[in-house]
Amino acid sequence: MKQDISALMDGELFEDEAENLLGRLTSDSAVHKNWSVYHLIGDVLRQPEHIHSDLSAKVRERLQDEPTVLAPRARAVKQNIRTYALSAAASLSAIGVVAWMSLQISPEVAPQMAMQHIALRPVSMHTRTNSNDYMIAHQEFSPSMDMNGDASYIRTVSYSRDEVVLQNNPSEKQPR
Amino acid sequence: MTDREVDQQLVERVQRGDKHAFDLLVTKYQRKLGRLISRFVRNPSEAEDVTQEAFIKAYRALPSFRGESAFYTWLYRIGINTAKNHLLANKRRAPTSTLFDSEDSESFETASLLREVNTPENELMSKQVVDVVQASLQQLPEDLRSALTLREIEGLSYEEIAIVMNCPIGTVRSRIFRAREAVAENLRPLLETSKGKRW
Amino acid sequence: MRLRVVFCGLLLAVVANVYAEERPVGLDWLEIAAFAGHQTDYSGVFIYHYDNRVETSNIIHVAEANGEYEKLGSLDGPKREIIHHDGQVWVYNHHQLVHVGSRQGRNRFPSLLAEQLAALSANYQSKLLPVERVAGYNTQVILFQPKDNLRYTHKIWVHTDTGLLLKAAVLDDKNKLAELYAFTQLQIGGKIDRSWVKECDSVLLHDNELSSSAETAKVITTTNSGWVADMLPSGFKKTMEIQRPMHHGKHAPVTQIVFSDGLSAISIFIEPNDGDEDDVNGLSSRGAVNLYHKILDKNLVTVVGEVPPRTVMQVLDSVRYNGK
């Protein structure tokens, strides 16, 4: 049970188990206490310089005076699409629109992919000092990419051959 | 169920009338929100009041939360707005450092002075909690400590931790749990004291 | 009355000192942007501008129960689309969705670490600038100015409601734009096309030659290579040290050591030089990223980072082997 609380708060509990546990969490105060102390531990580890007492009791007291909120089960009903489409010209003054997505996929790779179609640029000579490889490898771990989410590929959308080679030649394991 | 799904589930339960589900969200986000609000509201006990206020506002606004953004970013925005409104409303009141310049409005002074007197006690408790957690962490066997740190501080998923620590995911789950329990065991006596009960 | 006032004055002074160590609001926004990028569903068009080029793409990002899915497509030249999910990659080939393998490296970026954020405030001055509109949304603008001349300035525009990063720029030491990323059209939440999500799941299931992502990921191993760099700018901390395949598997695995100051990163790559490499001079640049390499003993050492060329060179010159 406690182990399930631990997994649930990390977002690592399976759907059905999670549903059950959520039910108990909201009704059983002992279970809630564990949720509470486990979160306190995480908070202390992350922000030891700012730890205050548990406000949930005070909030709960005040909520007793609040009318119970009820919202229609809106999940099935999609809300208004908030499309704020602005023309590119309007929002970006000086910049003209040019090309993107330097998807470099070398023709030697896999018959799966018809390279003639997809290769954008002439395939480079692939000397070892081809900067692109290093730039991709570097940007996988760059923190400023975190903000752009997985659009880390906005910088170098060179799809590396490495990945495909590994995939298609499982016997060709790299030496460790 | 991912973290976001858990939040969404809790929100839906609140939206169906389950106030207790809101407790869980408060417990989860209170200190993160508290730290944010303290950026704007310098006085610690005022900041706590504003944080509480933000949660109440969030509760009232929940019917309009549709899950388009993550719950925390929505809560975050409410936190910022609440803090700003608080500052605007108190604009005419001198900031705490000049409180003792004026000898008028004694009742107001008394009230806030009382809160000020409480603060060192809170400070002490806070420090004790932090000390116990950090000391417990150091006492943990290396694999438990690593697992917990990778999860709580580095934010890695169980799968990522399994790769880093080169062990099965089940082992990761177990190590994190055992680490939490070990620290919690040391914390619980402290939290059970009369002062600790508020934590 | 006076005594009480003085007493409380002292208390307040104590309390104030405890909170004297203030964390700039800019860091909170960074944290929220990192978080929001992973948790929010959105669909839009953005441009990426660097080195006098502008590239336009569309993106759909959805956070499903089993993780994030992201589809990126080019809007210039021939149509190309890439889908990412859980470390796997798909491409469209002749209108057919094909699974092409695993993305190396971490499958998911964790949210910004407390240490990274602490390093940030030590090395950058953050400043809140007035709210601006981007793609029709109000954004909080935050500037991160480096405290030394060994790194670049970063500027971000974060949507005040959802925390999504809508625009980001890197400025070089002459305050010139080195690269820019900006949404021109954006829809947040609401009805977003998810048909492609189901498509990739089914393609994955039918692919018999697929090795599990965990297995593929094992090809990258953490290591203690024994290589160090003495002249890293202050605040750069090592975040990982791995061995990984590169160069299309034609050469031995490469050691990669990554350092970060919270906003920028520097990677050092070390690999044996088999003598088949003549051209090892010169600086490469792309947007805000600079690269230098050289031969050291029998190794090819390459340094890459979103930092000025002088920093890359300084780091490269200080790389040495300190192991057994």
Q: Confirm if C88 and A133 have CB atoms less than 8 A apart.
A: no
In angstroms, what CA-CA distances link B170 with A6, B173, C65, C66?
13, 5, 20, 18
Burial degree of C5 (CB within 10 A; 0-12, 13-18, 19+) = middle
For residue B147, pLDDT beyond 80 = yes
Task: Give the residue on C whose Cα is nearest the Cα of B32.
Answer: C28
Across A30-39, B11-20, C92-101, least confident range? C92-101
C313 to chain B, minimum CA–CA distance in Å?
30
Which of C31, C198, C257 lies closest to A137, judged by CA? C257
> In the predicted model, what is the mean pLDDT of residues A138-157?
53
Task: Please tell me which residue, B104 or C179, carries the higher pLDDT value.
Answer: C179
Task: Please tell me which residue, B116 or A138, carries the higher pLDDT value.
Answer: A138
pLDDT tens sequence across C270-301:
998 876 665 566 688 888 999 999 888 889 99
> Tell me, what DSSP letter sits at residue A1?
-
Strands (E), C172-213: 177-188
Which of C289, C251, B169 lies closest to A128, judged by CA? C251
Query: Residue B135: pLDDT band by 50, 70, 90 thresholds?
Result: very high
Which of C217, C244, C249 lies closest to C107, judged by CA? C217
Look at C63 and B156 and tell me if their CB atoms are within 8 Å: no
A148 to chain C, minimum CA–CA distance in Å?
6
Contacts of C293 in chain A (CB under 8 A): 129
Look at C40 and B103 and tell me if their CB atoms are within 8 Å: no
Domains of chain C, each with CATH number or no CATH: 2-210 (2.50.20.10), 220-321 (3.30.200.100)
Look at B39 and C28 and tell me if their CB atoms are within 8 Å: yes
Q: Which of residues 211-270 of C touch B (CB under 8 A)?
A: 214, 217-218, 222
In DSSP terms, C271 is beta-bridged to: C300
Task: Give the residue on A whose Cα is nearest the Cα of C289.
Answer: A135
pLDDT tens sequence across B40-88:
787 888 999 999 999 999 999 988 887 777 788 788 878 878 887 887 7
Give the separation between CA A131 and CA A128, rounded to whole angstroms.
Answer: 8
Find the CB nearest A135 among C110, C156, C286. C286
Find the CB nearest C265 among A98, A127, A138. A138
Hey, is the C-beta of C79 within 8 angstroms of any chain A C-beta?
A: no
Residue B98 is predicted with a pLDDT of 32
Domain ranges within chain A, ordered by starting residue:
2-65, 68-122, 123-165
Look at B73 and C217 and tell me if their CB atoms are within 8 Å: no
Share of chain A above pLDDT 70, in %: 47
Q: Radius of gyration of chain A from Cα atoms?
A: 26
- Give the mean pLDDT of chain B: 81
Q: Confirm if C128 and C115 have CB atoms less than 8 A apart.
A: no
Share of chain C above pLDDT 70, in %: 77
B31 to chain A, minimum CA–CA distance in Å?
6
B99 to chain A, minimum CA–CA distance in Å?
24
Contacts of A18 in chain B (CB under 8 A): 1, 5-6, 9
Task: Give the residue on A whose Cα is nearest the Cα of C87.
Answer: A150
Q: Can you tell me whether residue C19 is helix, strand or coil?
A: coil
Find the CB nearest C15 among B36, B44, B160. B44
Share of chain B above pLDDT 90, in %: 37
**Token pair recorded at residue C128:** 């809140």
Q: Can you tell me whether residue B9 is helix, strand or coil?
A: helix
Residue C324 is predicted with a pLDDT of 67
> Tell me, what DSSP letter sits at residue A67?
P
Look at C162 and B73 and tell me if their CB atoms are within 8 Å: yes
For residue A118, pLDDT beyond 50 = no
Residue A5 is predicted with a pLDDT of 94
C209 to chain A, minimum CA–CA distance in Å?
8
A142 to chain C, minimum CA–CA distance in Å?
5
Chain centroid to CA A159: 19
Chain C: touching chains (3 or more CB pairs < 8 Å): A, B
Give the separation between CA B12 and CA B192, rounded to whole angstroms.
Answer: 32
Across B66-75, B105-114, B142-151, least confident range? B105-114
Find the CB nearest C248 among A134, A159, A165. A165
Hey, is the C-beta of C303 within 8 angstroms of any chain B C-beta?
A: no
Residue C248 is predicted with a pLDDT of 62
> In the predicted model, what is the mean pLDDT of residues B6-29?
91
Hey, is the C-beta of B142 within 8 angstroms of any chain C C-beta?
A: no
Q: Can you tell me whether residue C57 is helix, strand or coil?
A: strand
Q: Which of residues 117-136 of B touch C (CB under 8 A)?
A: 117, 119-120, 123
Determine which of A12, A28, A32, A35 to mutate to test the interface with B (most B C-beta atoms within 10 Å).
Answer: A12
A14 to chain B, minimum CA–CA distance in Å?
5
> Tell me, what DSSP letter sits at residue A153?
G
Give the separation between CA A147 and CA C155, rounded to whole angstroms.
Answer: 12
- Give the mean pLDDT of chain C: 79
Task: Please tell me which residue, C77 or A118, carries the higher pLDDT value.
Answer: C77
Contacts of A51 in chain C (CB under 8 A): none
pLDDT tens sequence across A48-73:
888 888 898 899 999 888 888 777 65
Contacts of C19 in chain B (CB under 8 A): 38, 42, 44
C35 to chain B, minimum CA–CA distance in Å?
8
Rounded to two decimals, the ipTM of the complex is: 0.82
Residue C161 is predicted with a pLDDT of 78
Which of B86, B48, A143 lies closest to C267, judged by CA? A143
Residue A15 is predicted with a pLDDT of 84
Look at B155 and C113 and tell me if their CB atoms are within 8 Å: yes
- Give the mean pLDDT of chain A: 58
Give the separation between CA C3 and CA B113, rounded to whole angstroms.
Answer: 13
Contacts of A1 in chain B (CB under 8 A): none
